[in-house]
A = this chain, B = another copy of it.
Amino acid sequence: MSNKPLILITNDDGIQAKGIRSLIEAATAFGDVVIVAPDKPQSGMGHAITVNNVLRLDKSPLFPDLEAYTCSGTPVDCVKLAISEVIKGKPDLLLSGINHGENSASNVLYSGTMSAAVEGAMEDIPSIGFSLLDFDPNADFTGAKWAVKEILSNMANKEFPKSICLNVNIPSISTSEIKGIKICRQARAYWKDNFDKRYDQFGKPYYWLTGDFNRSDRSEDTDIWALDNGYVSIVPTQFDMTAYHAISQINEWGL
């Protein structure tokens, strides 16, 4: 048995993505890596779990020197299967990503990458989701790998807060241009949705979801501000969605 920390790695772009390979390359120096990742892209799956279908778990040939599996389900399924069937216990650290694309602000809710990290937080495993602000399948992950190493080496002797995870976003600029790392709050920024309506060969309509991300909340304590100004953003993220401030107002309804 190794004395190194056991690091579970997953993502939502699928095991074949450049982002997870980059995360594995950056993380292997910090512990023994086990990979359980989706067998296909699972972007936008949020905190979905597979309840009406079965799951497959297969050894992956992609990382022959590591313990690597694909799962037929969502990123959260990957975390649950890894704990129950692969590791048969909790890893010391859970890393998710590196996502091809931004997961700042309210994207945290749609993101399979971040939902895997949130699932880790629910299991009280120190968990971090990493996302690069570049959707390109061949994006340059050099700066993102620097951020992974910087954060992992820095937190090695620190106490990780209980029941939270970190949402790390990395601007798509060269490492030398990155100004530093900022701890932030989730910006109040939204998608203005649009559907691209098209017609199939039978003349019936179908829809592609598109949209514009409204980066309107730019105050200096937000992840949006940090990213727009050349910083890596870290939002500590929790899963109590109670709107505490609204409890007294609704109590006044006299229900």
Closest 5 CB pairs of A and B: A46-B47, A236-B246, A238-B243, A236-B243, A44-B51
Interface string of A146-162 (1 = CB under 8 A from B): 00001100110011010
Q: Out of B45, B108, B194, B238, which one reaches A48, CB within 8 Å? A: B45
How far is A194 from B55 in the complex, measured between Cα atoms in Å? 13
A150 and chain B: residue at smallest CB distance: B255
Binding site for B on A (CB under 8 A): 41, 43-52, 54-57, 74, 76-77, 80-81, 83-85, 106, 108-110, 115, 118, 122-123, 150-151, 154-155, 158-159, 161, 163-164, 166, 180-181, 183, 185-186, 188, 190, 193-195, 197-198, 204-209, 234-247, 249-255
- Is B54 a contact of A243 with CB atoms below 8 Å? no
Beyond A45-B46, A47-B47, A154-B254, 4 extra complex contacts between A and B, CB < 8 Å? A44-B48, A57-B207, A109-B241, A183-B247
- Is B45 a contact of A161 with CB atoms below 8 Å? no
Which of A47, A183, A185, A190 neighbours the largest number of chain B CB atoms within 10 Å of its CB?
A47
B residues less than 8 Å from A57 (CB atoms):
205, 207
Q: A154-B255, A239-B106, A255-B183 are in contact. Are A51 and B209 (CB under 8 A)?
A: yes
Q: A183-B251, A249-B161 are in contact. Are A193 and B80 (CB under 8 A)?
A: yes
- Is B151 a contact of A85 with CB atoms below 8 Å? no
How far is A76 from B81 in the complex, measured between Cα atoms in Å? 25
B residues less than 8 Å from A204 (CB atoms):
56
